[in-house]
Structure 1
Amino acid sequence: MATTTTGRTRPAVAPSPTYRSQPGGEASGFAARVSLGRMFAPVPSEFLLIASTALILTGFGLVMVLSATMATAVAKGDSPFEVVMKQAAFAIIGVPLMFLASRLPLTFWKKIAWPALVGATLFQLLVFVPGLGVTNDGNQNWIQIAGFQAQPSEFLKLTLALWLGYVLYRKQTLLGLWRHVFIPVVPVGALVIGTVMAGHDLGTAMILMVILLGCLFFSGVKLRLFVIPLLLVVGAAAVFAVTSPNRMARIMSFLDTDSLSCYDTSCYQPLHGVWGLANGGVFGLGLGNSREKYGWLPAQSNDYIFAILGEELGLIGCLVVLLLFTLFAVGAFHVIRKTRDPFVRIVAGGITVWVVGQALLNIAVVLRLAPVLGVPLPFMSQGGTSLLSVLLACGVLLSFARTLPQRGVPAQGVRQVGAAAGTDRGR
């Protein structure tokens, strides 16, 4: 209360509603204004780099899917745009979801880690339900409902990275002890990967193993503890390969120096992939002018789309795609390097080794530097589920990029700025 010259008392001036404090000491009004302002605030360069490369690769992929499928579609009497329109539908859904996911806070990704992994695992188990599961080339890793086909294991990649990030983040102070590194990471990871291997999909299982190793590496686990899971992963992959005659045939054909001896069997597709790249030369035959897509290359729009790219756009087109994946990796690794949150570092590391590692593995298969494993080229191969999962993973990376400390602004800017404003008013 203040006293006037007449001796009366009058109430003190009420504080502005904008600066009214909460019991916790934060200025809710000011924090809300800052939060709304962030919608129009400049985004970090990492955000722009990841988002732009993802969009360009997705658009590039739609063009190549159209080029790779239109000839066979016309030969069947279908519309030349039938396949690409299905792929475009997933892109139309996935791109907005990517930017929607980029607006979600870290607390959301931490809370959803366990439910997402459980849900994705149950979704994967649907491939074993009679009438729903679909077998393709010996792999039972798809489901089909009312004419709609999906590959549930693609969502396991993102949810496993989120779950590993959350568990290892909660155990940061205990990762020097082997039992805390192995439990529950190894049992749960083995269960998740086992659901994929039960459908005989070694390629996807290997990508999940790489994600597990990547998350362990970026969690800061000591090298002596990291080597043991690495050996377990290598041993498991070797056992899965040896116990399958089909996989062993592909591995032996890769090691065979006389590839023409197995031309009619396991070498057919790898040889035509290399011949497609050779036909392209430096400048390519021109967009739409591939010869291998006319029934010579069976997987021309999914696992071997890089061969069609090289044939039509040549070495220059291949280098452009490699450059785009390099820029994506640079943006993602900047998020890993700059973040102060272990959860962000671990999950971003797992997503990065998944997307970049899968791209390199797919290209290595096309170049005959690795045996055929059946993994698609991220963003570009035909497959709506694969495209949707990769775009959602990019949305998670973009969400993480928003939390990076900027010049003159601390990390987690909204809450800290609001708290600082409340502190200043109390002085």
Structure 2
Amino acid sequence: MATIRKKHRAPVSVFQRDPGPWSRLLIDWLATLAVIMIFGLVMLFSASYTTGYLRMGDSFHYIKQQALCMMLGLGCMFLMSYVDHRFLRKMVVPGYIIVLAMLAVTLTMAPLNGCRRWIRFGGLTLQSSEVAKFEMILFSSHLAAKAPQVERLDPERRILLTPREWLRVRVWKQLVVPVLPLIPVVILLAMEPHMSGIVLTVAVVGTILLLSGSGGVLTWAGAITAGALLETLLSHVDSIPYLQKRLDGWTQDLSKMTDQTVQSLYAIGSGGLKGLGLGNSVEKQLWLPESTNDFIFSVVCEELGFIGAVLIIVLFVLFIVQGLLIAYKAENLYCTMVGIGIMAQIAWQVFCNIAVVTNTLPNTGISLPFFSSGGTSLILLLAEMGVMVNIGRNGERVAQQREQMRAQREAARAEREAELARKTIDLASARAARTEQ
């Protein structure tokens, strides 16, 4: 009687003693990150010392908080760089349940400016939407990597899916299943309300699905349609007063713009090519609201000018491209999609923040990564950077193992060819000797 053996998976430990060697690409990526973080600290201090003194009685109030959160974040980054990515994948479902619970608890907190976005305990605050973004990267990457892939047609092996099978794979497995966990998160964020959190979370999950090939042409068609109809959809949003006010202020008429946008454009225009000089911003003297957070890029433009603004954009582009290359060289599809999701989050935040301060998009309240003040965001961003380090080191380890196996195969093939050549020579010599006899 045949017996069925169950496939036992090797136990997954939480930490790895040695995730793998450090590649040159990973070191360069970390160097770029260090430059961005130092740049961000300098600009935050420049943008915040007036506000800190006038509001808190301490010019160093914001920079001290940011430096402390950065130290905590670097600790989390170091810790997460040794957390096995297989363990993170194993914990995506429990993590998702915890995130839903956190978002639900957030709704019970006292409102601030009409919104409930923070969990408060012991004098500390935690923005649950930041945790939700990280969890959705892990969960969506897991579902996208787990979905069956439709093999490409080739002359030797033609695989034609029936319409029913195509719908099951392309629509259900690759689109509906990965998107379903996003719906409760979006509903809870809408109840806070937190529209910028919804925009970022949906954009990141959509990027993961697009670049994983999930849904094929359906996903691309949906993304293009959503982009084309974005302005039309936003123009019909009138259920949330503060959101409608921001949308009404999204115009080219200075007299109808929101005060934040007007002051932001003044700051950008005042900077010119070279800027007014570090620390010489006028708009940060309580003219520009949220100069330490959402509109810090306006202060950068005013103090460092067009040259400084372009330098920051180039740094972020370099950082994102290096991160995508690390993700491309990852150990497996899941790690690749996690890396893409993390880099997509930073890319979308940078794009939306700069688009808002230049009035390209309506005011969404999205911070500039590593520049804007905000403890939860900075700590979680650095924790995600730790995940990237783990993915990069594991990917380099696997790449070196593959290279060693390839070298061994090449050496074995060369040895076989040499042995065959030696036997051929011996056979030819024997025939020649027999002919001479």
TM interval, short-chain normalised: 0.7 to 0.9
Which residue in 2 is equivalent to 1:214?
Answer: 207
Q: Which runs of 5+ in 1 are unaligned?
A: 1-23, 25-34, 421-427
Counterparts of 1:128 and 1:61, CA distance in 2 = 32
C-alpha spacing 1:163/1:303, structure 2 compared with 1 (3 Å): same
Letter matched to residue 146 of structure 2: R
- Give deviations 1:72-99, integer Å, cap 9, x for gaps: 2222361111121111111001012112
| Map 1:323-342 → 2, pairs under 5 A | 323-342=314-333
| Map 1:163-312 → 2, pairs under 5 A | 163-173=139-149, 176-227=169-220, 230=223, 238=233, 241-255=237-251, 257-259=252-254, 261-262=255-256, 266-312=257-303
CA contact (8 A) 1:133 1:144 kept: no
- Give deviations 1:113-145, integer Å, cap 9, x for gaps: 22222222222222211xx34423x43212322
| Map 1:3-402 → 2, pairs under 5 A | 42-76=21-55, 78-129=57-108, 132-136=109-113, 138-173=114-149, 176-227=169-220, 230=223, 238=233, 241-255=237-251, 257-259=252-254, 261-262=255-256, 266-402=257-393
Counterparts of 2:403 and 2:207, CA distance in 1 = 25
- Give deviations 1:359-386, integer Å, cap 9, x for gaps: 1110011111111111001111010111
Counterparts of 1:79 and 1:386, CA distance in 2 = 23
| Structure 1 position 231, deviation (Å) | 7.6
Letter matched to residue 401 of structure 2: P
C-alpha spacing 1:77/1:409, structure 2 compared with 1 (3 Å): closer
SS at match of 1:298: coil
| Structure 1 position 412, deviation (Å) | 11
Superposed CA RMSD in Å reads: 2.9
| Structure 1 position 232, deviation (Å) | 9.1
Counterparts of 1:408 and 1:204, CA distance in 2 = 36
Which residue in 1 is equivalent to 2:4?
Answer: none
Q: Which runs of 5+ in 2 are unaligned?
A: 1-7, 9-15, 151-167, 410-437
| Structure 1 position 252, deviation (Å) | 2.9
Who wins on radius of gyration, i.e. which is larger?
2
SS at match of 1:150: strand
Letter matched to residue 338 of structure 2: V
SS at match of 2:344: helix
Q: Taking every aligned residue pair, what percent have the same amino acid on both sides?
A: 26
Counterparts of 1:221 and 1:407, CA distance in 2 = 25
C-alpha spacing 1:343/1:408, structure 2 compared with 1 (3 Å): closer
Counterparts of 2:342 and 2:349, CA distance in 1 = 10
- Give deviations 1:281-314, integer Å, cap 9, x for gaps: 2222222211111110111000000001111122
Which residue in 2 is equivalent to 1:30?
Answer: none
Counterparts of 1:133 and 1:62, CA distance in 2 = 31
Counterparts of 1:412 and 1:386, CA distance in 2 = 39
C-alpha spacing 1:370/1:77, structure 2 compared with 1 (3 Å): closer
Counterparts of 1:157 and 1:412, CA distance in 2 = 36
Counterparts of 1:183 and 1:209, CA distance in 2 = 14
Counterparts of 1:95 and 1:77, CA distance in 2 = 26
CA contact (8 A) 2:144 2:214 kept: no
SS at match of 2:46: helix
| Structure 1 position 271, deviation (Å) | 1.0
Letter matched to residue 181 of structure 1: Q
Letter matched to residue 283 of structure 2: E
CA contact (8 A) 1:305 1:381 kept: yes
TM-score by length of 1: 0.80
Letter matched to residue 192 of structure 1: V
Letter matched to residue 115 of structure 1: P
Letter matched to residue 25 of structure 2: E
| Structure 1 position 229, deviation (Å) | 5.6
Counterparts of 1:224 and 1:296, CA distance in 2 = 47
Counterparts of 1:165 and 1:299, CA distance in 2 = 34
Which residue in 2 is equivalent to 1:424?
Answer: none
**Aligned residue pairs: how many?**
374
C-alpha spacing 1:411/1:82, structure 2 compared with 1 (3 Å): farther
Counterparts of 1:111 and 1:165, CA distance in 2 = 12
C-alpha spacing 1:102/1:269, structure 2 compared with 1 (3 Å): same
- Give deviations 1:192-214, integer Å, cap 9, x for gaps: 12111111211110000011101
Counterparts of 2:179 and 2:215, CA distance in 1 = 16
CA contact (8 A) 1:126 1:133 kept: no
